[in-house]
Amino acid sequence: MSKGEDATSSERSPAITFNVNGEVRIANVPPMKRLLDVLREDLHLTGTKEGCGEGECGSCSVRMNGELVNSCLIPVLQAEGADIQTVEGLALDGELHPLQRAFLEHGGAQCGICTPGMLMAAAQLLEQDPHPGIVQIREALAGNLCRCTGFIRIFESVAAAVNPENAHLATESTSGHLRDAREEGPHAR
């Protein structure tokens, strides 16, 4: 940090106090600093990612007072006194959240950069609707862009986190049918 702007502005501004992943945190930062930057730069919680900086891609999704928000659009002053949950707060005592396990098992993450935001959006959904169908899953994740998976395996991961038996049914898709082509004999000439 430079000695200029941040030091003087934090002298001027009262510290922000909020609860992040169950811990009280105090940040001496300018009040208009983005919640995303405060989480990443000041609290060193870099699990929350920046994809677009304008609330389109959802990579910076965190939960704030039980709502899903784009942390790139929240000036940190709005988070005063708030309960914030980031992806670092999903796993409890090193035990992966069922969504995290399902994403791992069902190919819900490829490059991983959208995954933290996607997990937060999915966690938000499951809290509000513990048994979502494909329509609800699609709608809940519509604000989170993934460029790798085509979303199919993400839908399946969320469905599997709810009920491992019904992942395919929930997503109306198949999971890559394998067949040895020689079983039926090639039609080659």
Partner 1 sequence: MGRACYVDDIEREGMWHGATVRSGIPRGLIRSITFDRRIDWSEFAIVTAADIPGENCIQLIVADQPCLADDKVNHCEEAIMLLAHPDKHKLREAVGAVRVEYEPLPAVFTIEESERQDVIVWGADNLLKTFLLEKGDVDSAWARASHIVEGEYRTGAQEHLYIENQGMIAEYSATSGVTVWGSLQCPYYVFKALRPVFDLPEDKIRVIQTETGGAFGGKEDYPSIIACHAALLAMKSGHPVKMVYDRMEDLAATTKRHPSRVRHRTALDRDGKLLAMEIDLATDGGAYATLSSTVLSRATLHSTGPYLCPNIRVRATSWATNYIPYGAFRGFGAPQAIFAMERHMDEIAAALAIDPVELRRRNFLHVGDNNATEQQMREPVILDQLLDRALKESDYHAKRAQFARDNPASTVKRGLGIAAFYHGSGFTGSGEVYLNSLAGIDVTPDGKVRVLASNTEFGQGTNTVLTQVAAEALGIDYAAVSMASPDTGIVPNSGPTVASRTSMVVGRIIERAASQLLALLREHAGLDATYTQKEFLAACERYRATHGEVVSLCRYEAPPGIVWDDQKYHGEAYGAYAWAVYVAQVAVDTVTYSAEVEDFWAVQEVGRVIHPVMAAGQVEGGIAQGIGYALYEKVVWQDGRMANNQMTNYIIPTAQDVPPIQVYFEQIPFRYGGFGAKGIGELPHDGPPPAILNAIHDATGVAFNAIPLLPEDLYARLAATEKMAAQ
Instruction: Give the interface with partner 1 as residue ranges (CB under 8 A).
Output: 1-2, 4-6, 40, 45-54, 56-57, 59, 86-88, 90-91, 96, 100, 106-107, 109-114, 116, 137-139, 141-155, 171-182, 184, 186-189
Nearer to partner 1, 44 or 67 (CB): 44
Nearer to partner 1, 24 or 92 (CB): 92
How is residue 188 annotated by DSSP? -
Compute the distance between CA of residue 77 and CA of residue 175 in angstroms, rounded to an integer: 45
Nearer to partner 1, 81 or 119 (CB): 119
Smallest gap from residue 32 Cβ to partner 1 (A): 11
Nearer to partner 1, 47 or 75 (CB): 47
Smallest gap from residue 90 Cβ to partner 1 (A): 8
Smallest gap from residue 121 Cβ to partner 1 (A): 9
Which residue shows structure tokens 């708030």? 82
Strand partners, 16: 27
Contact between 15 and 76 under an 8 Å Cβ cutoff? The reply is no
Compute the distance between CA of residue 130 and CA of residue 43 in angstroms, rounded to an integer: 31
Smallest gap from residue 58 Cβ to partner 1 (A): 9
How is residue 73 annotated by DSSP? G
Strand partners, 18: 25
Q: Which of 92, 51, 87 is nearest to 72 (CA)?
A: 51
